[in-house]
Amino acid sequence: MTETLRPDLCIVGAGSAGLSVAAAAAALGVPVVLIERGQMGGDCLNAGCVPSKALIAAARRAHDIRQAADFGLGAPEPQVNYARVREHVRSVIGAIAPNDSQARFTALGARVVRASARFVARDTLEAGNVIVKARRFVLATGSRPAVPDIPGLDTVPFLTNETVFDLTRRPEHLVVLGGGPVGLELAQAHRRLGTPVTVIEAGRALGHEDPELAAHVLAALARDGVVVREGATVREVAGEEGDIRLVVENRGSRTELKASHLLVATGRRPVTDGLELAAAGIAHDEHGITVDQHLRTTNRRVYAIGDCAGPAAGGRRFTHVASYHAGLVIRSALFRLRPRVDMRAMPRVIFTDPELAVVGMTEEEARADGTRITVLRWPLAENDRAQAERRTEGEIKVILGRGGRILGCGIVAAGAGELITPWTLAIAHDLKIRDLAELTVPYPTLSEISRRVAMSYYAPSAARPMVRRLIGLLRRFG
């Protein structure tokens, strides 16, 4: 039998974006229908953020054992049991899963429908035996791995972020296609767990990041033994499980590379298949669902958020961006406000070791914008806590505009994802560098690099003869 539901809000997709909207709406007593055809929690919980960070944590422990001699400790080479590592990853997912479960959202008051959804009219969609006629719809269908068009790739077994965490045995040689954040995070983790790893990148590894900051990350990967081949293109793939052969072209010459396992990490594509968007008058293309700066689609009843939304949504596919989108939609759909997408203070983090965290403008972006800027730097090696921990790779780099206004910040350091937060706050509230310089920071902590780099802004002024004469004059009257 067919059931017809008439909620205020219908959400398609139970990943980070959709669940954030559903939880907020249900908490406000709004009738909500949540539709999900796959796993609750979406990519972040099941195949993205959570399992990758669990794997990285295991790899870090192995790395720490190898570094124990630097602290005067004796330790053998770590014995890595991939099956046990997989159990660790699955147990972390299992610990978090109840927060994203159907039972929890049902208890919150949402109606959860586990089926594929498709629009049949501008104000109606169908999911299994349920017809939903909602006042507002939110599409939060996420993204999936993009698979490049390489001859032979469709004939060989390959891994993506959705399948790599199922490995129970150590690969003899892992080849990673793609030198972006996902590719390098997983490359370093597997190398630290004992697997030889080669990364193939057609352009420059971490090509969207400040080259000065990215160089620290690439140097750390090289020390770990990860081979990164930049400017290289895979022309052909052949073979079978455990014996995969790749023809790689670099600067006009071709070589053959052998791998036991192949990981494709060449980006992501929005998921829109099966939604029948045309039936609802919703425009979309290969970049995602077309939205305006308020996240509305070409059908004013429908919003699109998270990874499935087009470039106007900010163009960054992160879980915290999805949560940010969710907050905007709640204000718009339920409170009739008109908030706009503003990515100026949206941080991003690459979870290699050291981590790379960025918020606001990079130096290149600021110069391209024609802004007169000041660039401040402070090396991590000048931080006492970093020396004590023997983790001195990295630096902080700050971009300032006129009058010391903070335009951007990039940090390469252990825990950079935590260290970037005060700079995110500073940009969000249009603070100036003096506000960071006046902070009192506990000693010894890595956070001191933020205050030290802020203080360095005033060093040139303090050396000016006029300032020195003024200080001398004031001293006489002290």
Annotated binding site for NAD(+): 178-185, 201, 267
Taking CA atoms, 54 is separated from 67, 88, 91, 192, in Å, by 20, 7, 9, 14
Closest CA to 295 of 251, 339, 349: 339
CA dihedral 314, 318, 319, 320 (to 10 degrees): -60
Helices within 301-345 (DSSP H only): 319-335
Q: How far is CA 379 from the centre of its chain?
A: 24
Name the burial class of residue 462, with classes exposed (0-12), middle (13-18) and buried (19+) by CB atoms within 10 angstroms of its CB: exposed
Q: How would you classify residue 314: left for phi > 0, otherwise alpha for psi between -120 and 50, otherwise beta?
A: left
DSSP-derived 3-state class of residue 441: coil
Binding residue numbers: 53, 141-143, 178-185, 201, 267, 307
Number of H helices, E strands in the chain: 16, 25
**Whether 436 contacts 404, CB under 8 Å:** no
What is the H or E stretch that residue 244 is in?
Answer: strand 243-250
Taking CA atoms, 150 is separated from 24, 245, 246, 409, 471, in Å, by 43, 13, 10, 37, 68
144 half-sphere exposure, CB direction, 13 A CA radius:
10
Calpha distance 201→459 (Å, rounded): 41
For residue 311, is the peptide bond before it cis, meaning its omega torsion is within 30 degrees of 0?
A: no
Calpha distance 395→410 (Å, rounded): 8
What letter does residue 275 receive in the DSSP assignment?
A: S
Identity of the residue numbered 442: P
Binding residue numbers for FAD: 53, 141-143, 307
Tokens 């770990």 belong to which residue? 224
**Whether 279 contacts 120, CB under 8 Å:** yes
Calpha distance 380→378 (Å, rounded): 7
